[in-house]
Structure 1
């Protein structure tokens, strides 16, 4: 198949993903939507890429009509980070640089869009979330239960405030996962067409900087020193820094067991199964914390 047909095929894939956004497949679609756009930008020059993107948008509008506003909004949102990733692939930058830059760009876009949306529509996000959660909780509250009369309302307010306070860390983790999934799938897709894209270092070689341990201790002290009801700057920093750093140590723990599996010649499926257990049981982040703070791997190497 010639390069022209390949670009048409990937444009069709992007269109199908846009058309699936109004369906129940939206969660899966959002993690796949950037892939055809990244592939198209890497294959094409900027002007042809914009032509393809415009054709995708027009086709989506023609097929969905008034329902195309949300899909087109998502498509335009992911167009910028997709083009940036494709541009970095053309420049042969390292996979770590691509993923880091894509994560930062996605996070910045999420924050800007959220700010614009809140200002434009004058929405109190915490109040809106509390209202939706309260409606859901009221279905559990009946006259025959022993729960307090205002249980649903009080719980909804607490959950809404906690969600808003944790929003930066949730957006950061979402941006990181989007960047990683897009890189992994785009690299494989481009590889089938003979376009070589640098891979991430093997999981067993991943190592966090030791300074993150100090940052984690500071964030942990702040989280205990500051009241959970404190919505100020430092309270927000502590509430978001702790889970983000713990997630980083979870990844480090997975990398450690991949290293251990390689050293001990375990079956290939072993570290993957261990990774699932680590993701399911949160306290395993302590393994990653220890591996980052101390030369744990050197001990197993000597053995």
Structure 2
């Protein structure tokens, strides 16, 4: 009985904490920061009390959200972050690995985004994808107007390139949603580890970055995506084009991460400090073409196990 009462009190405190964070996110300028903390009360409660109590906290948070902001927009907001936080918190309680927790958060985030798009479409009659496309087109038109005001003559080729880029981004919305879901899950895990460790609630961490290694099957998927784009890139439309234009950049990112992981492993095997690896990261941001070299390194590492050669040679 005491444990149930304690759980109810803690749930009320964490729901109130969420309410404060939601208010700050919606009504104050610090919302760009506090938005990343919104899932954390649900993570903490899920980690300590499990699935069923988390459901009740989720329901209570919907009621609090309606009182604070009302409207479908805010309720969808709460559903999204509560679903992610509760999912990851319950997975922490079940002592899943860091990768399993992040993948759980990824799928929860993905389902939350899709639910939010469906909710706004059915209830508010808004097509978020179409609105996004219109915003891209308006940004192109606005850029042209600014160039005209500055006395810079319009370049039809540049305008066509910008419109083509906006059109391609429309096809890439699935990969944007997938990438956003993974980023949200990683950030939530990172913040959760900091807070839960301070609360003496240990959670799993990822292995050192130098030990990260994707399955070799990713290399096969990447090569298939490259070959597919060679055949359909000129079409600029159709189902196969949409598949290729979404798969290739995502798998390209996987190869870059694999390449960076190998670089970290190589530096570690040579006894070089972390400073050298940080310099590599900075160079990648300053000179984006270096990502091609890292991608190639990742491909070679997956295909020929470069780490084994480094280990045998050291």
Say yes or no: TM over 0.5. yes
In structure 2, list runs of 5 or more residues that go unmatched. Answer: 1-5
Q: 70-79 or 91-100, which moves further after superposition? A: 70-79
- Alpha carbons of 1:5 and 1:270: their partners in 2 closer, same or farther (altered >3 Å)? farther
Residue 250 of structure 1 contacts residue 279 of structure 1 at CA under 8 Å; is this kept in 2? no
Q: For residue 181 of structure 1, what is the aligned residue in structure 2? A: 187
Aligned-pair distance for 1:72? 3.5
Judged with a 3 Å threshold, the aligned counterparts in structure 2 of structure 1 residues 289 and 32 are, in CA distance, closer, same or farther, namely farther
Comparing 285-294 and 241-250, the one that deviates more: 285-294
CA shift digits 1:1-40 (9 cap, x unpaired): x887765654444223212333444443333322222112
- CA contact 1:130–1:156 (8 Å) conserved in 2: no
The match for 1:260 among 244, 259, 266 is: 266
1:209 paired with 2:219, answer no
Q: How does 1:1-303 map to 2 (within 5 A)?
A: 10-22=14-26, 23-46=28-51, 48-62=53-67, 64-65=68-69, 70-115=73-118, 117-118=120-121, 121=125, 123=127, 124-125=130-131, 127-142=133-148, 144-147=151-154, 157-280=163-286, 281=288, 282-283=291-292, 284-303=294-313
Q: 1:257–1:271: 8 Å Cα contact kept in structure 2?
A: yes
TM-score normalised by length of structure 1: 0.83
Structure 1 partner of 2:3: none
* Structure 1 residues not aligned, in runs of 5+: none
Task: Please give the TM-score of this superposition, normalised by the length of structure 2.
Answer: 0.81
Distance across 2 between alignment mates of 1:52 and 1:12: 10
List per-residue Cα deviations over 1:113-151 (Å, max 9, x = no partner): 335545662643465234432442243242744215897
> How many aligned positions are there?
299
Deviates more, 1:25-34 or 1:287-296: 25-34
Is 1:208–1:292's contact at 8 Å kept on the other side of the alignment? yes
Distance (Å, rounded) in 2 between the aligned partners of 1:127 and 1:175: 20
Aligned CA RMSD, in angstroms, stands at 3.1
Do the aligned residues in 2 keep the contact of 1:102 with 1:179 (CA within 8 Å)? yes
Separation of aligned partners in 1, 2:35 and 2:91: 21
